[in-house]
Amino acid sequence: MFIDQAEIEVKSGKGGDGMVHFRREKYVPRGGPDGGDGGRGGDVILEVRPTLNTLSAFRHTIRYAAQDGKGGGSNNKYGRSAGALIVPVAPGTVVFDAGTGELLGDLTGPGQQLLVCKGGRGGRGNTHFKSSINQTPRTAERGEPGEEKRLRLELRLIADIGIVGVPNAGKSTLLSVLTNAKPKIAPYPFTTLEPNLGVASVDEATSVVLADIPGLIEGASRGAGLGFEFLRHVQRTRVLIHLLDGMSADPLEDYEQTMTELALFDPGLAQKPMLVAVNKADQPEVQERWQDLKKKLKKKKRDAVLVSAMARSGTRELLLQAAGLLAESPLPEVTAPVLPVYRPAEDPRDFKILREPDGWRVQSKAIERAAEMTPWDQSGSVRRFQKLMERLGVDEALRLAGAEEGDTVYIGEYELEYQE
């Protein structure tokens, strides 16, 4: 089954905890702190695999979590860092943040990678907290928590030449004649329920990739028929072959309908280099109306050729002309469906004090992260966190907001008691 959209949840690994430990060795009194640092948590990375052409793997697995880093050891031993979790995706995958809609990356080239979640750093051991006035620090850090995101993936097939047109114009037959593809072919509309790819040889040194896009009906850009789901695949192509059914009641009306739907979905699509091919030249009726069609298309500044995909007549010439247009056309630019959003960098010292029915909440990513990295069973680490709150002005802000002795203060998942 062809899958071109998916949503997945990704989570990077938590950093390993730092260790509180003191050197204990015979004949070495007061050895001092030697607690090691924790290892780094694993990153989550999307990587392009050229062998993939769908997102079907994400039908069964939607959550990907990297491993956590290992905790530090005695004698200043570092904990082992976790390896990155590599999630393979098909070429042409566009990655969005499902929550904000922000475009995170566009993966096209083989082996291209996108870091979507960075692993948490390891917590520091008590070695880092020794000083001349604190020679036996019982303070360490827990590992930094990993990041967690929900991603929306969209696949836009990468093809050199796209074949578009109304349903049953003969696109699948043309693709099978020009390439080694074996699409489903039948004499009824919407035979093609998913895009098909094929490779055609222009000469001994040149080959091109063609894509057969499902038929476009009126309203396709608004979701009618099958077009809305697959119009995005046309954005990747550099050249279009617009195939018309020569036996249609009005081929020119079919042409205008398809061009309108392309322009409504993305104005740039109608401006792509395009060849118009009138199919079913093996039928006498098509031969009779060909010259009239050619003149009318010429008025629309479109060069047209007459082909018969079934009889394999004129198809080779069509391919050579399309390859010539391809050689003259520039490489496609990435079309972002949303404009980039400017987000100023957050000051880690910023925080908000919110009133809750049963207490107060301190809202700040940096402070919440510091709370998660504090081992609350270590008195030295608790004092260090209290000093951080004083230095950032959180204590003063709570007092000015009206906090009283004994009130509950929420920081992330933790509940603290406010004291003057």
Query: Fold for domain 161-328?
Result: Rossmann fold (3.40.50)
Instruction: Please classify residue 66 by burial: count the beta carbons closer than 10 Å to its beta carbon, then call 0-12 exposed, 13-18 middle and 19+ buried.
Output: buried
> Distances from the Cα of 169 to the Cαs of 137, 213, 257, in angstroms?
78, 11, 13
Q: Residue 138 pLDDT > 60, yes or no?
A: yes
- 64's enclosing H/E stretch is strand 63-65
For residues 41 and 34, give the distance between their C-alpha atoms in angstroms, rounded to a whole number.
22
Residue tagged 């550099």 (tokens): 238
The answer to whether 105 and 114 have CB atoms below 8 angstroms apart is yes
Binning pLDDT at 50, 70 and 90, where does residue 68 land?
Answer: very high
Residue 81: DSSP 8-state: P
Task: Quote the pLDDT of residue 47.
Answer: 94
Looking at residue 193, its pLDDT comes to 45
Torsion angle, alpha carbons of 196, 181, 250, 280, to 10: 180
Q: Is residue 10's pLDDT more than 90?
A: yes
What is the identity of the amino acid at 382? V
Q: Is the pLDDT of residue 191 over 60?
A: no
Find the angle CA(300)-CA(305)-CA(306) to the nearest 5 degrees.
125
- Yes or no: is domain 352-417 CATH 1.20.1250.20? no
Amino acid at 231: L
- Res. 312: pLDDT tops 50: yes
pLDDT at 188: 43
Domain residues of the chain, as ranges? 1-155, 161-328, 352-417
- Identify the weakest region by mean pLDDT among 85-94, 114-123, 146-155, 194-203: 194-203
Mean pLDDT across 256-275: 81
The alpha carbon of residue 181 and the mean position of all alpha carbons in its chain are separated, in whole angstroms, by 28
What is the per-residue pLDDT for 169? 77
The DSSP result for 229-289, as a single string, is: HHHHHHTT-SEEEEEEETTSS-HHHHHHHHHHHHHHH-TTGGGS-EEEEEE-TTSHHHHHH
More confident residue, 80 or 348: 80
- Residue of 326, 293, 290 whose CA lies nearest to 308: 290
For the segment 213-233, what is each residue's pLDDT rounded down to a tens digit? 775 544 434 444 444 455 666
Distance of CA 382 to the CA centre of its chain: 40
- pLDDT band per the 50, 70, 90 thresholds, residue 120: very high
When pLDDT is averaged across residues 364-380 and rounded to a whole number, the result is 88
The stretch 8-36 carries a mean pLDDT of 88
Q: Please state the pTM of the whole predicted model.
A: 0.65
Candidates 205, 240, 413; CA nearest to 318 is: 240
**Strands 352-356 vs 359-363: parallel, antiparallel or unpaired:** antiparallel
Instruction: Look at the domain 1-155 and name its fold.
Output: Spo0b-associated Gtp-binding Protein; Chain: A, (2.70.210)
Q: Is the separation of the CB atoms in 66 and 44 below 8 Å? A: yes
